[in-house]
Amino acid sequence: MDTNTLFTMALGLQAPWEVKNLQFDEEAKRLDITIDFTRGADFPCPVCGQPAKVHDTEEKTWRHLDFFQHAAYLTARVPRCKCDVDGVKQVQVPWARPGSGFTLLFEALIMTLVQAMPVASVAKLVGEHDTKLWRLLHHHVDEARAKVDMSGVTRIGIDETAAKRGHNYITLVMDMEEKKVLFGVAGRSHETVHAFKADLTAHKGDPDKIEEVCLDMSPSFIKGLKAHFPKAHLTFDRFHVMQMINKAVDNVRRGEAKDRPELKKTRYIWLKNPSNLRANQAGRLQELRDANLLTAEAYRMKLTLQDFYEQANPQAAGMFLKEWITMVKGAGIEPMVKAADTLKDHLAGVLRWFKSGLANGLLEGINSLLQAAKSKARGYRTIRNLVTMAYLIAGKLKFELTPA
pLDDT digit string (tens) for the chain, length 404 residues: 688 999 999 899 999 999 999 999 989 999 999 999 999 999 999 999 999 999 999 999 999 999 988 999 999 999 999 999 999 999 999 999 999 999 999 999 999 998 888 898 999 999 999 999 999 999 999 999 999 999 999 999 999 988 876 568 899 999 999 999 999 999 999 999 999 999 999 999 999 999 999 999 999 999 999 999 999 999 998 889 999 999 999 999 999 999 999 999 999 999 998 889 999 999 999 999 888 899 999 999 999 999 999 999 999 999 999 999 999 999 999 999 999 999 999 999 999 999 999 887 877 888 787 877 777 666 677 889 989 989 998 899 998 876 55
Predicted TM-score (pTM) of the model is 0.85
Cα–Cα nearest to 183, from 204, 169, 198: 198
Phi and psi torsions of 383, nearest 5°: -65, -35
SS3 state at 359: coil
What's the CA angle centered on 207, arms 205 and 212, to 5 degrees?
105
User: In Å, how far are 270, 313, 398 from 138, measured between CA atoms?
Assistant: 44, 47, 14
Residue ranges covered by each domain of the chain? 3-143, 238-356
